[in-house]
Amino acid sequence: MITSARNDKIKEIRSLASKKGRRETGLHLIEGERLVLDVLASGIVPDTVLVAEWNTTAGAKLEALGVPYIEVTAEVMKAASDTDSPQGVLAAVRTPDTLPPEEYPRGLIVCLDRIQDPGNLGTVLRTADAFGAAGVLVGEGSVDPFMPKAVRAAMGSTYHVPVWQGELKTELRRLREQGFGLICGHLAGSGELPDLPRDRALVIGNEANGVSPETAEECFLYRLPMKGRAESLNAAVAAAILIYKLSE
């Protein structure tokens, strides 16, 4: 059992709350019994699993699966956790390669342009997973999809859908070259969807400013028709509606 927050393993896990720590270790943090078990079910082997001494239920489930873990005191779990109310189980997981592929998979690719809220990013990942998107491309200037809050918001979808990171304008041009139709949500866009090929890329813009002018130049601009007085929608809500429409 680890009883001190000054333990080197605990220090490493605490470092995963920062982008620098994730980059230097190649690991990211997941928390909660459901998420840890979902990661295991996806075939991912964690680098380290910590279980609070009081969470005997999680310990028993991990033992039944043959997954080794380190027991820690409640105080150490609180020090290692990224949440105010730790659930008593967390894991450090190897971050997958996020380099965009040479050839994108066919279907719907969801692209994010400077998304700043990790909760929004995680929610978009979860929605993309729910409606069968082929992958999510996180453009430069967006938050890290493997930061703890984004991973929690995705509720396991981070491990069900390919996640890539790259320079958005370059990747959009590559997608067009590979036969994808490009569309983005834009308040100045048309209220009618164009005829799109079956393979399509949807761009979701920044919460405050929408898509950048450089990104807009690459895409057909589409505006969700709204009947009420609200001028716009939360980025994650707008993304959910557009992903649903374009996945039909």
Domains of the chain and CATH, by start: 8-94 (3.30.1330.30), 108-246 (3.40.1280.10)
pLDDT tens for 172-181 read: 999 999 999 9
Q: Are 193 and 185 in contact (CB under 8 A)?
A: no
Question: Per DSSP, what are the bridge partners of residue 182?
Answer: 201
Give me the phi and psi of 191, to 5 degrees please.
Answer: -85, 5
Question: Hunting for tokens 């592929």 — which residue is that?
Answer: 101
pLDDT band at 205 (very low <50, low <70, confident <90, very high): very high
pLDDT tens for 84-103 read: 999 999 999 999 999 999 99
Residue 127 has pLDDT above 90, yes or no: yes
* DSSP-derived 3-state class of residue 21: helix
Residue 187 has pLDDT above 90, yes or no: no
pLDDT band at 111 (very low <50, low <70, confident <90, very high): very high
On average, the pLDDT of the chain sits at 96
Give me the phi and psi of 80, to 5 degrees please.
Answer: -80, -25
Predicted local confidence at residue 248, as pLDDT: 76
Cα(165)–Cα(162) distance, rounded to whole angstroms?
10
**For the whole prediction, is pTM greater than 0.75?**
yes
Sign of the torsion angle spanned by Cα atoms 206, 210, 215, 221: positive
pLDDT tens for 136-156 read: 999 999 999 999 999 999 999
How far are the Cα atoms of 63, 109, 220, 222 from residue 5, in angstroms, in the given order? 24, 42, 52, 51
> Average of pLDDT values for 18-26?
97
